[in-house]
Amino acid sequence: MATFISVPLKKSSEVDLVKPLSKFVTSTYPPGEEQTEYLRAVEELNKLRKSALGRPLDKHESSLEILLRYYDQLCAIEPKFPFTELCLTFTWKDAFDKGSLFGGSVKLGDGAFAHIKDTVLSALNREPTMDISPETVGTLSQIMLSQAQEVFVLKATADKMKDAIVAKLANQAADYYGDAFKQCQYKENLPKEVLPVLAAKHCMMQATAELHQSALANQKKKFGEEIARLQHATELVKTVASRYDEYVNMKDLSDKISRALTAAKKDNDFIYHDRVPEVKDLEHIGKASLVKTTAIQTPLSQKFTDLFEKMVPMAVQQSVSAANSRKSDTVNRLIGSMREATNLCNGVLASLNLPAALEDLSGDAVPQSILEKSRAVVQQGGLQSIEQLIKDLPELLQRNREILDESLKMLDDEETTDNELRGKFNQRWNRTPSGDLYKPLRAEGNNFRNILDKAVQADQVVKERYTAHCEMIALLCKPENELSAAIPSANPAKTLQGSEVVNVLRAQLAQLDEVKREREVLEGEVKSVTFDMTAKFLTALAQDGAINEEALTASELETRYGSHTQRVQQNLRRQEELLSQIQVSYQEFSALKQSNSEANNREEVLKKLASAHDSYIEISSNIKEGTKFYNDLTEILLKFQNKCSDIVFARKTERDELLKALLVSRALLHSTSHHTSPTPLLLPQEAQTLRPGLSAASVQMFTQFNLKCNFVILLLSLRYYQMPMAYNPYAYGQFNMQYMPYQAQGQAGYPGAPPAQQPYPYPQQPPQQQPYYPQQ
């Protein structure tokens, strides 16, 4: 009697999990023990998938255990990997590779189908295939629920439980099968044998309930009711035997009912003579349900161990990335304000020719500060080093432009082919248009192009600044005797050497130097602050189910950088006060100096030399930062190129499958109309007439598929079979993925750059930048 309906497992083709998941791991985690562990776990996951789906499974609990472990592992890594961005395409759907894994188990089948019913629409971005549509899986869930109730009926019967209990269990099972039968009546996609089996089971469970209820009536001395119920059971069994005999075996139940009815009639005819009531007058049998839809809760396997236990969820990864970005912004803001203050200080002192004016009281020797600046320029390579760096910038720029252009060209070519095929097949080309799918990638590509355009402008600013100061920089690179000869002489001003205003100016300059040294220490302290928000984000996610990244990060930044911010502000206020005092003292000093044209010429040259030194340091740092920016951007653009290449490859694979399906469908339609010799769908020389303007690649593709389809027609024309009506569990899922733009963690400042200079207008590390440079 126990004929159960089973749902075949959905089949899947080979899918390489190693390459995309390993690429994500290597791009997200730095080289080291952690990365190695995750790469090893990726290999184990791929082996687990092959064990679960890559080979036929025995109908045994051990096979189910493999499926459960695979499902649990997928649930565990679902929040940790961005599957839709990794170009992973599964043949049945891109719904985390979890669809219909438990069709062979009544215990899990009901809950599994109910789970798919509740989640399939939200998991997919388009209409699901018929076999996993909410209506179909809802029906399958009801079938599993009915069969689970029947299992309890069989168990109660085998254990010889009370007839009242068995009758109620069987009557409830009959109701469940009746509901399943009603849901299946209009489901043409289900196998044709499902409907008669459900109808037979409905009658069988009713007959079983009547059989046991008749025994209960016998115990209560209601012999007429006993006969009426057995007669009703006999009618039900005869109905099943006459209509559904090929689907279920009714012999045991039929014999049992027949024997009971014969004995009951004999006793009633000879002994009791009790009136046999009509079936409609019989008391309804009670119902008892021992089953309910069980929610799917992981882990399902008792032996499950997460291969990626130490990897944090994507929500935490994204929050950590955002927190690092906020940290970089804070560090860059503090360091930027200090460097800006240093540039302002150097500019004011250069305009006043300090401290050179105090060192040049003799009027003929080269001031010591100028000699130190000259040595600093020579040690850093002088003009030659800057000229070489400036010469390399266009080459770095061109390399980045070529990578970006090639990436966007791949998208353009694939989109052109997609549009051509859409024009050819119209509504039948029912996949997401490439133009819509590539919008995020194109937006990011345009952002990169804007960055490069602004980088060109920044390069031009640096070159103009170099041109303006190159003459004085060249003078600083000369030996001391040539430098001294190039500086005009002036009348000695020895009378000022012991004056009070000179001593005051020197004291104020010493205090200003102390303020600048304090800023250098502060900059180092700000850069050295490190903290990890992972633990706090994990706690917040566990407690609240969500992460308020902005609030948590702001609180941590205030704790870590609050005191540094106050010290920076105090330092800047102290410098402002000292500069005001120095300007007042310098006015007094200028009034005491002997004023003549020679002294003015000498002072002007000394100012230009001091300014040339500051400009050299700044230009040198800017160009080095620019070179680093281009090199960093190259790495980002290569990753962008890989993403474009991956998604184009996935789209081409999907395109080939869809094109093949359409052409085979056309071949099948053609063969049904013509059972004689096959006619080719399209000759190779006719491919050009498909649609004007088709590319050569598209024509070649059509030709290759035509040859395959012509062979299919030949086979079908020899003998054509009517396909059975059954739902297709192997439907191919369309590729429909969103795109997550790449984000790189920022870093603060440049440790190799001198503190006393304006930061170069390149980003410190894309996408975090110093102000006024192109934002990524």
DSSP 265-333: HHHIIIII------GGGSPPPP------PPP--S---TT---TTTTSPPHHHHHHHHHHHHHHHHHHHH
Per-residue pLDDT, 207 = 92
Within a domain: 549: yes
Question: Region 7-13: what's the mean pLDDT?
Answer: 66
Tokens of 96: 């985390």
User: What confidence tens digit (pLDDT) does each residue in 95-144 have?
Assistant: 223 333 333 344 455 556 655 655 544 555 555 555 566 677 777 888 88
Q: What is the per-residue pLDDT for 129?
A: 59
Give the integer Cα–Cα distance in Å for 79 and 280. Answer: 58
CA distance 179 to 192: 18
- When pLDDT is cut at 50, 70 and 90, the band that residue 569 belongs to is very high
Which of 53-67, 208-222, 476-490, 539-553 has the lowest average pLDDT?
Answer: 53-67
How many CA within 13 A on the CB side of residue 430?
8
Average pLDDT on 643-668 reads 84
Token output for 238: 């005869």
| Alpha carbon distance 498, 137 (integer Å) | 99
The identity of residue 666, as a single letter, is R
Q: What is the CATH number of the domain that holds 74?
A: 1.25.40.280
What's the pLDDT at 208? 93
Q: What is the CATH number of the domain that holds 379?
A: 1.20.140.50
Q: What is the DSSP string of 400-450?
A: HHHHHHHHHHHHHHHHHHHHHHHHHHGGG--S--HHHHTHHHHHHHHHHHH
- Nearest CA to 133 among 119, 149, 147, 143? 119
The one-letter code for the residue type at 695 is: S
**3-state SS of the chain: helix, strand, coil percent to 5?**
70, 0, 30
Q: Phi/psi of residue 765, each to 5°?
A: -160, 120
pLDDT of residue 762: 43
Q: Please give the pLDDT value at position 187.
A: 64
Can you give the pLDDT at residue 188?
65
* Residue 402, pLDDT score: 92
Q: Is the pLDDT of residue 250 over 50?
A: yes
Query: Which pLDDT does position 11 carry in this prediction?
Result: 65
Q: Rounded distance, CA 164 to CA 158, Å? A: 15
Pick from 274-283, 695-704, 732-741: least confident: 732-741
**pLDDT > 50? residue 373:** yes
Q: Between these two residues, 681 and 562, which has the higher pLDDT value?
A: 562
pLDDT at 613: 82
pLDDT of 764 above 50: no
d(CA 466, CA 613): 11
Kind plus residue range of the DSSP H or E element containing 429:
none
Specify if 293 maps to a domain: no
Name the DSSP letter for residue 749. S
Residue 695: pLDDT above 80?
Answer: no
Query: Do 76 and 192 share a domain, yes or no?
Result: yes
Q: Which residue has the tokens 């720029």?
A: 397
d(CA 290, CA 301) in angstroms, rounded, equals: 23
What b/e string do you get for 513-537 counting C-beta neighbours within 10 Å, with b at 16 or more?
eebbebbeebbeebbeeeeebeebb
User: Looking at residue 187, what DSSP letter applies?
Assistant: -
In a domain, 44, yes or no: yes
* Alpha-carbon span 134 to 372, nearest angstrom: 80
d(CA 237, CA 243): 10
CA gap 345, 311 in Å, rounded: 49
Least confident of 254-263, 423-432, 575-584, 725-734: 725-734
Query: Would 669 be classed as within a structural domain?
Result: no
The amino acid at 539 = T
**CB-neighbour burial class of residue 100 (10 A; exposed 0-12, middle 13-18, buried 19+):** buried
pLDDT (average), residues 285-308 = 76
The residue among 720 and 56 whose pLDDT is bigger is: 56
Cβ neighbours of residue 135 under 8 Å, at least 6 residues apart? 187
Is residue 502 within 8 A of residue 496, CB to CB? The reply is yes
Q: Which of 523, 762, 450 is nearest to 624 (CA)?
A: 762
301 near 68, Cβ under 8 Å? yes
Same domain? For 541 and 608 the reply is yes
Residue-level pLDDT at 479 = 79
Q: What is the rounded distance in angstroms from the CA atom of residue 151 to the CA atom of residue 147?
A: 6
The reported pLDDT for the residue numbered 169 is 94
Q: Residue 615 contacts by C-beta under 8 Å, 6 or more apart in sequence?
A: 465, 466, 468, 469, 473
Find the mean pLDDT for residues 516-540.
88
Higher pLDDT, 580 or 677: 580
Mean pLDDT of 589-603: 64
The arithmetic mean of pLDDT across residues 328-334, rounded, is 91
- What is the span of the domain harbouring residue 230? 18-281
Instruction: Record the tokens describing residue 252, joined without a space.
Output: 């045991």
Is residue 447 domain-resident? yes
Is 479 in the same domain as 336?
A: yes
Choice among 13-17, 126-130, 394-398, 565-569 with the minimum mean pLDDT: 126-130
Rounded mean pLDDT, 63-74: 80
Question: Angle, to 10 degrees, between the axis of helix 134-158 and the axis of helix 194-219?
Answer: 30
Closest CA to 523 of 327, 754, 329: 754
What is the per-residue pLDDT for 166?
93
* pLDDT (0 to 100) of residue 270: 87
Is there a domain that residue 6 lies in? no
Q: Do 244 and 336 belong to one domain?
A: no
Among 305-319, 411-425, 483-497, 504-518, the range scoring the smallest mean pLDDT is: 483-497
Separation between Cα atoms, residue 222 and residue 206, nearest integer Å: 20
For residue 156, is it within any domain? yes
Give 78's pLDDT tier (boundaries 50, 70, 90).
confident
Under 8 Å between Cβ of 770 and 746: no
CA proximity to 679, closest of 712, 723, 703:
712
How far is Cα 205 from Cα 667, in angstroms, rounded to an integer?
47
- Residue pair 729/8 in contact (Cβ under 8 Å)? The answer is yes
Selection from 407, 394, 490 nearest residue 441 by Cα? 407
Q: What is the mean pLDDT of residues 147-156?
A: 90
List pLDDT tens digits, range 80-91: 777 666 656 555
Number of domains forming the structure of the chain: 2
Residue where a domain terminates, one of 567, 602, 633: 633
* In a shared domain, residues 255 and 141: yes
pLDDT given for residue 715 in this prediction: 36
For residue 85, give both structure tokens: 């961005």
Judgement on whether residues 55 and 197 belong to the same structural domain of the protein: yes
Residues 49-77: what's their mean pLDDT?
A: 75
Residue with tokens 């002007």: 604
Q: Please indicate whether residue 105 or residue 257 has the higher confidence score (pLDDT).
A: 257
Q: Is the pLDDT of residue 703 over 50?
A: no
Q: Which of 20-24, 134-138, 604-608 has the highest mean pLDDT?
A: 20-24
Q: How confident is the model at residue 406 (pLDDT cuts 50, 70, 90)?
A: very high
Percent of the chain beyond pLDDT 70? 71
Within-domain flag for 713: no
Residue 173 reports pLDDT greater than 90: yes
Band (61; pLDDT cuts 50, 70, 90):
low
Q: Do 272 and 324 sit in the same domain of this protein?
A: no
- The rounded distance, in Å, linking the Cα atoms of 98 and 129 is 15
> Is a pLDDT exceeding 70 seen at residue 76?
yes
Rounded to whole angstroms, how far apart are CA atoms 524 and 748? 11
The yes-or-no verdict on residue 205 having pLDDT over 90 is: yes
Residues 240 and 141 in one domain: yes
Asked if 573 and 464 sit in the same domain, the reply is yes
pLDDT category, 297, cuts 50, 70, 90? low
Alpha-carbon distance of 279 to 284, in angstroms, equals 10
Q: What is the DSSP letter of 768?
A: B
Supply 234's token pair. 């006999």
Round to whole Å and give the CA distance between 129 and 619.
Answer: 62
| 525 and 590 belong to one structural domain | yes
Furthest-apart CA atoms within the chain: distance in Å:
153
Residue 770: helix, strand or coil by DSSP?
A: coil
Helices (H) and strands (E) in the chain, counts: 21, 0
Is the model's pLDDT at 640 over the cut of 70?
yes
Q: What is the pLDDT, as a whole number, of residue 732?
A: 31
574-590 core/surface letters (b: 16 or more CB in 10 A; e: else): ebeebbebbeebbeebe
> Cα Rg for the chain, rounded, in angstroms?
42
The predicted pLDDT at position 125 comes to: 52
Enter the tokens of residue 340: 């800006």
Residues 579, 459 share a domain: yes
Q: What's the one-letter identity of residue 181?
A: F
> Among 581, 602, 633, which residue terminates a domain?
633
Most confident of 94-103, 614-623, 631-640: 631-640
Q: What is the mean pLDDT of residues 165-191?
A: 85
* Structure confidence at residue 232 (pLDDT): 92
Looking at the DSSP bridge assignments, the partners of residue 768 are 765
Q: Calculate mean pLDDT across residues 351-359.
A: 76
Q: How far is CA 770 from CA 97, 112, 636, 766, in A?
A: 44, 53, 18, 10
Q: Which residue has the higher pLDDT, 414 or 490?
A: 414
Q: Would you state the pLDDT for residue 438?
A: 87
User: Do residue 265 and residue 395 come from a single domain?
Assistant: no
Contacts of the segment 292-297: beta carbons below 8 A, 24+ positions apart: 292/145, 293/110, 293/111, 293/114, 293/141, 293/145, 294/108, 294/110, 294/111, 295/111, 295/114, 295/115, 296/108, 296/111, 296/112, 296/114, 296/115
- In this model, does residue 661 exceed pLDDT 90? no
Other Cβ atoms less than 10 A from the Cβ of 149: the count is 24
Written as six digits, the tokens of 291 are 């089953």
Nearest to 737 by CA among 642, 638, 643, 647: 647
Instruction: Look at residue 664 in the predicted model and tell me its pLDDT.
Output: 80
Choosing from 633, 666, 701, the residue where a domain stops is: 633
Answer yes or no: is pLDDT of 699 > 50.
Answer: no
Token pair of 405, please? 């252009």
Amino acid at 537: F
What's the confidence (pLDDT) of residue 203?
92
